[in-house]
Amino acid sequence: MAEQDEEPTSSEQARPGESEAQRADRNFNDILQELRVTQTGVQILFGFLLTMPLQARFGQLDRYEKALLVIAALLLATATACIIAPVAWHRTLFRHQVKKEIVDASNVFAKAGLTALALGIVASMLLMLDLVLPRWAAVTLGLALGVLLLMLWAVSPVLRRREMKRA
């Protein structure tokens, strides 16, 4: 994730003729658009996990599988809370002239929400895979998925940012 002493990114820099308030509005709208994309996926996955205990096969889950279900549901609840938090901040602080603070907090919430979402996806897939494959295969595939998400969502963008700094 972003380090504090880095140069501003293009979204943090003012565009020609753009005021601080306009930049904060633009950055907040950008964050909200990103969060809208993730929110639907989180809600669908979370909703599915919440129905699982009501299924007939739930009683056959072993302790490990039940623990995975609880962990996945808690991670996705955390992701949901973080992804919705910027809206609550905006509503509560509306017209208090603190848009930049809202944008900064929303950025932290978005990163925390994406982290919880990635872990929730891995835990959910690990549970599903454990139900249909030998445990060693489920764990192997779950770890591979975790590495894939880490590479796509964290490592690759950080490497690209470093490339842009050198250019």
* Reported confidence tier of residue 2, pLDDT bands at 50, 70, 90: very low
Question: What's the pLDDT score for residue 35?
Answer: 80
pLDDT tens for each residue of 12-37: 566 777 788 888 888 888 878 888 87
What's the whole-model pTM score?
0.78
Task: Please give the pLDDT value at position 5.
Answer: 45
Residue 135 has what pLDDT? 97
| String of DSSP letters for the chain | ---TTSPPPTTTSPPTT--HHHHHHHHHHHHHHHHHHHHHHHHHHHHHHHHGGGSGGGGG--HHHHHHHHHHHHHHHHHHHHHHHHHHHHHHHTTSS-HHHHHHHHHHHHHHHHHHHHHHHHHHHHHHHHHHS-HHHHHHHHHHHHHHHHIIIIIHHHHHHHHHHH-
How does pLDDT run across 40-74, given as a tens digit for each residue?
878 888 888 778 776 877 888 999 999 999 999 99
Residue 159 or 58, more confident: 159
More confident residue, 69 or 167: 69
Q: What is the pLDDT of residue 54?
A: 65
Residue 14 is predicted with a pLDDT of 66
